[in-house]
Structure 1
Amino acid sequence: MTAAPAATVPFQLAWVTVTVFPDCDQTPFQPLVSCWLPVGANVTVTNTGDALNGWTLAWTYGGDQQVQQGWNADITQSGAAVTARNASWNGSLGTGASASFGFNASYSGTNDVPGTFTLNGVTCNEDGTDPTDPPTDPTDPPPSGSKVDNPYAGAKVYVNPEWSAKAAAEPGGDRVAQQPTGVWLDRTAAIEGVNGGMGLRDHLDEALRQKGDGELAIQLVIYNLPGRDCAALASNGELGPDEIDRYRHEYIDPIAEILSDPRYAGLRIVTTVEIDSLPNLVTNVTPRPTATPNCDVMKANGNYVKGVGYALNKLGDVANVYNYVDAGHHGWLGWDDNFGASALVFKQAATAEGATVSDVHGFIVNTANYSALKEDHFTITDSVNGVSVRQSKWVDWNRYTDELSYAQAMRGELVRIGFDSGIGMLIDTSRNGWGGTNRPSGPGATTSVDTYVDGGRYDRRIHLGNWCNQSGAGLGERPQAAPEPGIDAYVWMKPPGESDGASKEIPNDEGKGFDRMCDPTYTGNPRNGNSMSGALPDAPVSGHWFSAQFQELMKNAHPAL
């Protein structure tokens, strides 16, 4: 599932002019297919939509073209797919403004200019069209009752006014206050609104207002399983382990009823279903050394699987709902013992309680976590003095070094075991930027595999297993659609500035406990290699506003604000 514009822009249209300069003398009788021809190309992107602060142009070659070097843009290629991202100085494109870049490449056979380009995921007009003619709007909605391939394509994404107001009230917060974030329905009372706040209908009505005449996606986090978060106390929920019927009829059924209201049929409703639940049934149960009694209970009673299946079935019946199931993150499921087994549990849940794999539009990774999107300074295949990167203390035999590689690999595995080949992935980039003064600019020293990895890694956590209010973290990539193959969008599903959990015990009526992983003085457990927690001090209960964290996230943002 692919294609969508920058999340804060209704849609972007662009004219793309490509001029190709072949540079290979060829004898009259030399077979063309046997000659790899160097070629140069100049590309001009003219923005005919709303102003852009950052652009990504993508296209797919039909032949063997291989990009070799480029200028005025960051150009990458994976197979036939090519992505060109703006340089630091040419990312702003006002309406009518243009940016140009070029590259050298080689090819064999024919060298046709690709017929389709996308700007921030939305189809552009290619060379040969007349910019004075009105283009066809690529964001025209599909026929009533049908789904689009990517709900973020050609759509604005809902800005939660409650979060936006908190962000804007912070010094410097106006720089990000209009970014779209997820709306968390983390207890039954949230459906109607907590303490006078907005309920689900309020958010949907506001989404209609923000939508106007265009398309809009609204992101909802479905998060209230019985026995929720069996391995972490900070985000425990209101329902006991056996209260599956309350989950079904007091929580999911009312949500499904509201979402099915014809008034909201024009919205693209993205649901992220029960984060941090199903992977626990693989990694935190007996006989694993990280097992907890609570997770053993949830595996034995089957209520995680039943609950997720019921939610997928009921919500999937609503024509304009797009279900994305939580799939952990690479620092949790990237090991061989966890990866395939977790995918099978996802399928088990997706076929429980009347659900089918067709009720799953995709999966989301790194929700409310900190794993770096990309690690540029080392790869999983690197070795130092004959020692594999996988043997470093940081990687610790994981198969993946970052979230992008993990998300794409997990997508492939899920398709392999029976999910639709069109499923897309979301990556939560709300807190994985790891910028600021501590961001490495190159690989670490090759003294050992550990100095090589530790000196070059962007993710500055003490240990991959640390997850609570991490010190030094920064805002990551801004929400955007179709940034990489197989990725529907980068999203800020966890609203930046909302705490992961209290750093000390705080009584509350939300069912949320005190987890030592949120205590900055905690020396750890087997899940984080008995390391310090790396948590910020003075944090409030999970989901509550944490000003110090928000300021740190802005300070360490990458890309920088």
Structure 2
Amino acid sequence: MSRTSRTTMRRSRTALIAAGALVAAAAGSAAAAAPFGASAAAAAGCTVDYKIQNQWNGGLTAAVSVTNTGAAISTWQLEWSFAGGEKVSQGWNATVTQSGAAVTAKNVSYNGTLASGASTSFGFNATGNGNSAVPATFKLNGVTCNGSTEPTDPPDPTDPPTDPPAGSRVNNPYEGAKVYVNPEWSAKAAAEPGGTRVSNQPTGVWLDRIAAIEGANDGMGLRDHLDAALTQKGSGELVVQLVIYNLPGRDCSALASNGELGPTEIGRYKTEYIDPIAAILGDAKYAGLRIVTTVEIDSLPNLVTNTGSRPTATPACDVMKANGNYQKGVGYALNKLGDVPNVYNYIDAGHHGWIGWDDNFGATADIFKVAATTEGATVNDVHGFITNTANYGATKEDNFSIGDSVNGTSVRQSKWVDWNRYTDEQSYAQAFRQKLISVGFNSDIGMLIDTSRNGWGGTQRPTGPGASTSVDTYVDGGRYDRRIHLGNWCNQAGAGLGERPKAAPAAGIDAYVWMKPPGESDGSSKAIPNDEGKGFDGMCDPAYGGNARNGNNPSGALGNAPVSGHWFSAQFQELMKNAHPAL
């Protein structure tokens, strides 16, 4: 599936999630509708608007506005907590103090009284690491901002927990739930030497053609998987992960996964693919499952990076941009699947080595907003986004950061980073989440990161930064991601299993997932005839010399690979050998 470099290179949830990291050196904001607590006057409602106006590696400047939407008050006190070790150094228009991570801003003599509908603003400077977050929770006069206009009683800790009604959406579908283990993948993994160490891990079920709905090549169909999921579920909660992947003209910038539908076959996509899937998911039999759909891997970002006058534009991507069938298909899928109460739609958002540059970042968020408001869809049909699907970008690069410099030269100027704003998937996912919110997606969206093949462990894993001889030696000697180029995407040599699937691992991240089943090929090393619509892409050939999308570097691919989606034993063994954390 398509991966490029720089040269191409919900439903509304009921509560704010934990603070997510904000894009470095860019503005961000969060609004919370909330009550004031017991004040010198009466209880009131309020909104809080917190904006990071400027951010750099070492500090930030923030502006905060409080609007009283209830009865008049005569004094106020706003409280929140920092998540990233920030320390307030200076405040204005409020007395801002801090104890540990907890921050308190109190009115000064001239702005304590707020009539109904009145606002007041204050600001502050703080030290930080360049990756600060908008706080998720505010308290006004001791009461948590939660959208009511009266103080609310805290929960009684002696009360037993209550489960949401079957089929109702929750903030994070992965929290408090097991995740479905695909029996077909599990059997293949267990049959490999050493494979039983990971064969019990949950992976995505790829519906990559119409036949997969009923079960292709005598394999399990969608109902088969859902029935098996009910058995695995037992009396608890269980997430089923599905990959919706069959757009017309799919993967317009690559050849390994072009798919079965031609560029104009949007009608077949709707009636033969999405409608049957939606009908099955809507069966009341499956209402107790939490069904996560990851919607159309790769396609939408291609409309930004591989069209028009870009040096790596392709005629196929220009066709798809002109006919609008990517946006129409994604919008239709979001609308139909989003109507099922227990479905959580996550749109594919590429990865940092594709979308992390300034000329791709905002434009991609904009095209997602277009797709999410097409064919009857709304932003409420989007529960979140997924990054790094079937890709290899490290979750976190610990040995260097985007704010580092060597002998006065920024890490951004290194050949590896190449002016990208992000060095890894987690910082990109958290920042892109904020960008998506800024263009109109709900403020409570969550992110997923596919960690199935981004561990980069083994004996070659660096234990510290590289030599400070130059910015390139510093980055190259310390980076976990050992690909030849960020644009390399096919069956990468040296890759390893990454973080095991985990719920809520970081601010704004709903889960680490293994959406791409480890051991399934990205594409064949040579042309192989098949009836699955799978082509041959030179990026899967170890001898290929590269193209503009990977800076004309070698592909870094493993040899003797089968067509995409087929079991590739050598890759699976490579991933286990280089797993990090180690098996």
Specify the TM-score bucket, using the shorter chain as the normaliser. Answer: 0.7 to 0.9
Letter in 2 for 1:426: L
Deviations, residues 474-533 of structure 1 (Å, cap 9, x unaligned): 000000000000000000000000000000010000011000000000010010000000
1:184 and 2:206 matched? yes
Counterparts of 1:31-430 in structure 2, within 5 Å, are 77=84, 106=100, 136-137=160-161, 140-430=162-452
1:456 and 2:474 matched? no
Greater relative contact order structure (CA < 8 Å, 6+ sep): 2
Deviations, residues 429-465 of structure 1 (Å, cap 9, x unaligned): 0000000011000000011110000000000000000
Partner SS, residue 209 of structure 1: helix
CA contact (8 A) 1:325 1:364 kept: yes
Alignment partner, residue 130 of structure 1: none
CA contact (8 A) 1:2 1:488 kept: no
**For this pair of structures, how many residues does the alignment match?**
449
Partner Cα separation in structure 1 for residue 433 and residue 103 of structure 2: 32
CA contact (8 A) 2:243 2:296 kept: yes
Partner Cα separation in structure 1 for residue 192 and residue 543 of structure 2: 27
Match of 2:497 among 448, 452, 475: 475
Runs (5+) with no aligned partner, structure 1: 4-61, 67-75, 81-104, 116-132
1:517 and 2:539 matched? yes
Deviations, residues 237-275 of structure 1 (Å, cap 9, x unaligned): 000000000000000000000000000000000000000
Partner Cα separation in structure 1 for residue 475 and residue 401 of structure 2: 9
Letter in 2 for 1:491: V
Counterparts of 1:435-514 in structure 2, within 5 Å, are 435-514=457-536
Partner SS, residue 235 of structure 1: coil
CA apart distance, 1:79: 5.6
Partner Cα separation in structure 1 for residue 331 and residue 279 of structure 2: 17
Identity of aligned residues (%): 79
Alignment partner, residue 56 of structure 2: none
CA contact (8 A) 1:432 1:473 kept: yes
Partner SS, residue 191 of structure 1: helix
Partner SS, residue 236 of structure 2: coil
Runs of 4+ in structure 1 off by over 4 angstroms are 62-66, 76-80, 105-110
TM-score where L is the length of structure 1: 0.77
CA apart distance, 1:141: 2.8
Match of 1:543 among 554, 565, 576: 565
CA apart distance, 1:153: 1.2
Partner SS, residue 453 of structure 2: coil
Letter in 1 for 2:425: E
Alignment partner, residue 548 of structure 2: 526
CA contact (8 A) 1:2 1:153 kept: no
Partner Cα separation in structure 1 for residue 85 and residue 279 of structure 2: 43
TM-score where L is the length of structure 2: 0.75
Partner Cα separation in structure 2 for residue 327 and residue 174 of structure 1: 32
Partner Cα separation in structure 2 for residue 491 and residue 107 of structure 1: 30
CA contact (8 A) 1:157 1:218 kept: yes
CA apart distance, 1:196: 1.1
CA apart distance, 1:468: 0.1
Deviations, residues 264-293 of structure 1 (Å, cap 9, x unaligned): 000000000000100000000011001011
Partner Cα separation in structure 1 for residue 559 and residue 551 of structure 2: 21
Partner Cα separation in structure 1 for residue 253 and residue 101 of structure 2: 53
Partner Cα separation in structure 1 for residue 554 and residue 582 of structure 2: 28
Letter in 1 for 2:389: T
CA apart distance, 1:142: 1.2
Partner Cα separation in structure 2 for residue 495 and residue 340 of structure 1: 30
Partner SS, residue 504 of structure 2: strand
Partner SS, residue 271 of structure 1: strand
CA apart distance, 1:315: 0.3
CA contact (8 A) 2:167 2:290 kept: no
Partner SS, residue 512 of structure 2: strand
Name the Cα RMSD after superposition.
2.1
Deviations, residues 15-47 of structure 1 (Å, cap 9, x unaligned): xxxxxxxxxxxxxxxxxxxxxxxxxxxxxxxxx
Letter in 2 for 1:297: V
Runs (5+) with no aligned partner, structure 2: 1-15, 19-77, 88-98, 105-136, 138-156
CA contact (8 A) 1:284 1:292 kept: yes
Partner SS, residue 505 of structure 2: strand
CA apart distance, 1:401: 0.3
Judged with a 3 Å threshold, the aligned counterparts in structure 2 of structure 1 residues 482 and 65 are, in CA distance, closer, same or farther, namely closer
CA contact (8 A) 1:328 1:366 kept: yes
